Amino acid sequence: MSDAKLRVLVAKPGLDGHDRGAKVVARALRDAGMEVIYTGLHQTPEMIANAAVQEDVDVVGLSIMSGAHSHLVPEISRLLKEKGASEIPLLLGGIIPQADFDAMKGAGVFAIFTPGTTLAEIVDTVTKAAAAKRQAEAK
């Protein structure tokens, strides 16, 4: 993998106002040496896809506590594909029922983090997702 610093977009789509977890994850990723762009609250799928492309990120991390993941994730995935950025892995964290995991994976989610996931696991998975993207781009 390139020595360039990994760039991660951490986003809070929809009307979800709970961002403490996203901020903790963003801090852990920064502490691990990654460059983190945090979008803030109440982002639309369009805003997230645009930011991912404009910032040339390696990974997009979505934090969703509202239960709207079934609508928001496929829309963000669709928009990334539309913008020619389908290679950017999506990571999803929040309150995601196990019953929805297959649908989220089918919508392009690389990994899902639920309450209890350690920060070390998240950092490791982000690193692996970014490595997979960079390896695919190198081909």
**pLDDT tens digits, 9-36:** 999 999 988 899 999 999 999 999 999 9
Domain coordinates of the chain in residue numbers? 12-131
- Confidence band, pLDDT 50/70/90 cuts, at residue 139: confident
What is the rounded distance in angstroms from the CA atom of residue 132 to the CA atom of residue 126? 10
- Residue 7 per-residue DSSP state: E
What is the rounded distance in angstroms from the CA atom of residue 83 to the CA atom of residue 30? 27
What pLDDT shows up at residue 138?
86
Q: What is the biggest distance separating any 2 CA atoms in the chain, rounded to whole angstroms?
A: 40
Has residue 1 got a pLDDT over 50? Answer: no
What is the rounded distance in angstroms from the CA atom of residue 63 to the CA atom of residue 43? 11
Has residue 2 got a pLDDT over 70? Answer: no
pTM passes above 0.85: yes
Q: Work out the percent of the chain whose per-residue pLDDT is above 90.
A: 91
Question: Which residues have C-beta within 8 Å of that of residue 139, sequence separation ≥ 6?
Answer: none
**pLDDT tens digits, 72-122:** 999 999 999 999 999 999 999 999 999 999 999 999 999 999 999 999 999
- Confidence band, pLDDT 50/70/90 cuts, at residue 3: low
What pLDDT shows up at residue 54?
98
12-131: CATH architecture: 3-Layer(aba) Sandwich (3.40)
What is the rounded distance in angstroms from the CA atom of residue 136 to the CA atom of residue 35? 21
**pLDDT tens digits, 29-74:** 999 999 999 999 999 999 999 999 999 999 999 999 999 999 999 9
